[in-house]
Structure 1
């Protein structure tokens, strides 16, 4: 049988493999997915993982449970040699090896775009994966515990100062949800006052949320500021060395929690370890039908979709525009890629990807949201309900829908869980510290 190799198990890769295994005949082809993580992250839920409104595991869709007819390889593709129809895989454990294929689907996604700024690599946390969202939440909860026993002063201020860099959807949603959690925590910490909290959102452009128009974006900014946040527009981060934040507008402060959400970048694989055609931006050159190539030249047996692909946006009025790298496009491209690949296998012509946006919706903390579709703008509680309704329908698999709804229902009656499990990141500490070592036993004797 022909082997279809899917590089990456994110949105586009998961949906492509999911649809392929449902539609492929038993003897038509085999599907192989290569990804170092055993799950697909439903990223729109990450802001609510930050605030405890969604359990971390409920934002992770198991590949092995849902791709039952697909071969899963736990590893990362480090090079693609399409001329030989071979990829090199660096497994989670063991030596690198080559894997041959007949058809390749490149859905490697994107990585967090970082800059060579002092302290960022050492101090900042990204927000693309479940483990990052959990770490951010636990760090804030731990900071409240530590600050509550400290007298007012620089050390307490540092613990309770949060900095987000990047004012796009991911940054604003995460910032707003964490701010909502922090304001809610104050009821459980009478030792701390409202002036002890400091939340800073840093954005290089002169507005936040480029996905909506100016007035809704300005309303979101004013909403955040009324809740105690400080939004720095037209400002960049200069340094975060040792938690000492320096901004380009001259502002300086100490911050114990720094979250970096300043955009995406192409993966190393696409930037320099493939013989597939790549654009100047480091994305795979893709036709509107999701085959790799140009309008005049097609690379045989190569397909791509998602954040790592330069897919022409046929719905845009701007000539030469590419689709926006977001969840809406990645999911729909993954589904169409599977259909088009099947059409190609069966001698039919693939269809072009054309998607008209369904609008933009964002959560801004418990009971607050923003939605815009063309000129229609919905704010506040109704927009928040629309956000939850849309995403509980969009998250794949019924078990995840039911689990998320059950957590939301429990929170409506009992509130959010405010327990920090930061210690799970160092699970052996308790065992090592409490173990009866020979030295301790000899002293006690």
Structure 2
């Protein structure tokens, strides 16, 4: 059988493998997916996971539960030697060499970081489920600690949240965390709205670049009316010991610093492969998602998603590439599966052409923004559209039903405000008990 290797189990990789399972005949090909995590993360849910509106596990789609005829390897590809049709893999217990006939590179991107003092020690991303859970737990613990302190610098630090990056993840995360914090005030009588300090820091002159100027300005005003402060044309200069220094002259201590300042090329794809990459570290891809150019195609190699420079045929602009987002990755993964099957059966693959369906973002419980061309919807209707779209977009009916049912209790009873931060150090209680007993 032809051996198909899928590097990465994110949107594009999951949908490619899922589509191959549905289309391949028994014995036609053997599919293997390699990813360090045993699940696909549905990233649009992460801001709501951080705010407690979506259960963390509902944002994770198990690979083994849905890819029944695919071999799953829990590991990280460290390099790809396509000339030898070989991928080198590191697992928690071993180093593997995996051979293949056809490779699909869907390794995605990584969080883009900058060498800013203090960020490595105090910042936390919002790209994985674990990070979203940690952000929520830290905010809840901060409220518990602040409620027992008198008004002063330490209480102010605990209730100060800084989000760096004004893209979709940053703005949605900021809006959801602000919504969570203001709702918590009812449970903490000693704390007031004036105790909250929420800062959104964006280096450019606007947030949400995917929407047009006026809707973006409306989002800024909406966040400001709710007590958030939006710093445009502003850089984070330092975050040492949690003390935030901004280029606009503002300085303050922040108990929670969330870093959402964009994506960077996956280092394995950018520097550890003999496949062609562009200056940004993305795999060079033809319109039909085969790796290479029209003049120099690479045999038996495909790519899609955030790690691929996919030509955008929907715009009349030479050199235009599709935006690296979930909407494109899902559709590219579906087409990739169809194109691989087509080539295995001697047919020609089809080019990727996708017209934007619009963008929708949550800004907190009951608040949102939607734009498709000149049509703009704001507030509660946009929030309903956001939930409706993502309930339909999350893969598998099992996950759709879980998400829909999971949304009901918070609407009726409010958010669950129990922090499980101690789960990050599960042995502490056991070790403390053992130490106390040994002292007797």
TM-score tier by shorter-chain length is over 0.9
Residue 233 (1) aligns with residue 236 (2): no
Q: For 1:180-236, what per-residue CA distance to the aligned partner results, in whole angstroms no more than 9, with x for missing partners? A: 000000000011011111000000000100000000000000000000000000001
Query: Following TM superposition, by how much is the alpha carbon of 1:438 offset from its aligned partner in structure 2, in angstroms?
Result: 6.0
Q: Please give the secondary structure, in 1, of the residue aligned with 2:439.
A: helix
**Structure 2 counterpart of 1:76:** 76
Q: Please give the secondary structure, in 2, of the residue aligned with 1:435.
A: helix
Query: Following TM superposition, by how much is the alpha carbon of 1:40 offset from its aligned partner in structure 2, in angstroms?
Result: 0.2
Residue 216 (1) aligns with residue 215 (2): yes
Runs of at least 4 residues off by over 2 Å: 435-439
**Structure 2 counterpart of 1:48:** 48
How many residues align? The count is: 440
Q: Please give the secondary structure, in 2, of the residue aligned with 1:5.
A: strand
Matches within 5 A, 1:277-288: 277-288=276-287
Q: Which runs of 5+ in 1 are unaligned?
A: none
Aligned mates of 1:220, 1:318 — CA distance in 2: 29
**Structure 2 counterpart of 1:245:** 244
**Structure 2 counterpart of 1:345:** 344
**Structure 2 counterpart of 1:7:** 7
**Structure 1 counterpart of 2:86:** 86
Matches within 5 A, 1:410-429: 410-429=409-428
Query: Following TM superposition, by how much is the alpha carbon of 1:317 offset from its aligned partner in structure 2, in angstroms?
Result: 2.7
Q: Please give the secondary structure, in 1, of the residue aligned with 2:364.
A: coil
Q: Please give the secondary structure, in 2, of the residue aligned with 1:167.
A: coil
Aligned mates of 2:182, 2:318 — CA distance in 1: 46
Q: For 1:140-181, what per-residue CA distance to the aligned partner results, in whole angstroms no more than 9, with x for missing partners? A: 000000000001110001100000000000100010000000
**Structure 1 counterpart of 2:60:** 60
**Structure 1 counterpart of 2:39:** 39
Aligned mates of 1:401, 1:314 — CA distance in 2: 31
Aligned mates of 1:279, 1:232 — CA distance in 2: 33
**Structure 1 counterpart of 2:395:** 396
Aligned mates of 1:226, 1:143 — CA distance in 2: 23
Residue 173 (1) aligns with residue 136 (2): no
Query: Following TM superposition, by how much is the alpha carbon of 1:318 offset from its aligned partner in structure 2, in angstroms?
Result: 2.3
Query: Following TM superposition, by how much is the alpha carbon of 1:437 offset from its aligned partner in structure 2, in angstroms?
Result: 5.5
Q: Please give the secondary structure, in 1, of the residue aligned with 2:84.
A: coil
- Let me know the Cα RMSD of the aligned residues: 0.8
Matches within 5 A, 1:18-417: 18-91=18-91, 93-417=92-416
Aligned mates of 2:437, 2:325 — CA distance in 1: 56
Query: Following TM superposition, by how much is the alpha carbon of 1:435 offset from its aligned partner in structure 2, in angstroms?
Result: 2.6
Q: Please give the secondary structure, in 2, of the residue aligned with 1:364.
A: strand
Aligned mates of 1:321, 1:397 — CA distance in 2: 32
Q: Please give the secondary structure, in 1, of the residue aligned with 2:338.
A: helix
Aligned mates of 1:308, 1:297 — CA distance in 2: 19
Aligned mates of 2:435, 2:257 — CA distance in 1: 38
Aligned mates of 2:159, 2:436 — CA distance in 1: 37
Q: Please give the secondary structure, in 2, of the residue aligned with 1:350.
A: coil
Aligned mates of 1:324, 1:187 — CA distance in 2: 41
Output the TM-score relative to the length of structure 1. 0.98
Q: Which runs of 5+ in 2 are unaligned?
A: none
Query: Following TM superposition, by how much is the alpha carbon of 1:436 offset from its aligned partner in structure 2, in angstroms?
Result: 6.0
Q: Please give the secondary structure, in 1, of the residue aligned with 2:124.
A: coil
Aligned mates of 2:376, 2:428 — CA distance in 1: 50
Aligned mates of 2:435, 2:277 — CA distance in 1: 58
Q: For 1:58-113, what per-residue CA distance to the aligned partner results, in whole angstroms no more than 9, with x for missing partners? A: 0000001000100000000000000000000011x223121100000000000000
Aligned mates of 1:207, 1:3 — CA distance in 2: 47
Aligned mates of 1:408, 1:115 — CA distance in 2: 36
Q: Please give the secondary structure, in 1, of the residue aligned with 2:301.
A: strand
Aligned mates of 2:416, 2:221 — CA distance in 1: 28
- Farther off after superposition, 405-414 or 156-165: 405-414
